[in-house]
Amino acid sequence: MKTLFRIVKGLATGSAWLVAGLLAVILFLVSMDSIGRYFLGSPIPGTLELSESVIVMIIFLTATYCEMTSKHIRVTFILNMLPPWARDAVSKVTSAISIGYFAVLCWQSWKIAWYALSIKETSWGSYPIPLYPAKFSVAIGSGIMCLYLILRLFPSLSSEGSVELENTKEGF
């Protein structure tokens, strides 16, 4: 099932690229809003609302990429004191708990996102921004993370093996 790992890795990397583009747009928009607000006396309507939605996308769509490349902050001084078999057991237990958490988060946020789409939910504020893209990003990001964690917990599903899954540290 080497293909499954490639798909998950491609989804995580593609999501990271998408977020990089969104981040560039938001940085430009917030900069122009600040210039407009303080120098021209006319801010750009909807900047705050759009920024709030994009922050949700940034967090959830890059979580798997960060996990795959070991970029998340980890406090390992206690784990380093444990013997290798105990570290492996802690890793498996935390992966199993995380799979359950992200599976429920994916399922529930998918339902919420569909509901938001069906009622055409928008943000409150100076300019209504549709909220369903941010809500779908929670579901999609959680689903990708769940798939990655399953592959990490059960390396036999991927012919790459657990060492390859842990060491995908090349940049995007």
Q: What is the average per-residue pLDDT within 112-141?
A: 93
Q: What would the pLDDT profile of 127-162 be if each residue is shown by its tens digit?
A: 889 999 999 999 999 999 999 999 989 877 665 544
Quickly state the pLDDT bin for 165 (edges 50, 70, 90).
very low
pLDDT at 167: 45
Q: What would the pLDDT profile of 38-64 be if each residue is shown by its tens digit?
A: 999 888 888 888 999 999 999 999 999
Amino acid identity of 134?
A: A
Q: Rounded to two decimals, what is the model's pTM?
A: 0.83
The full set of domain ranges for the chain reads 2-166
According to DSSP, the residues that pair with 130 across neighbouring strands are 122
Task: Write out the two tokens for 101.
Answer: 């958490």
Q: What is the average per-residue pLDDT within 85-99?
A: 92
CA distance 172 to 34: 31
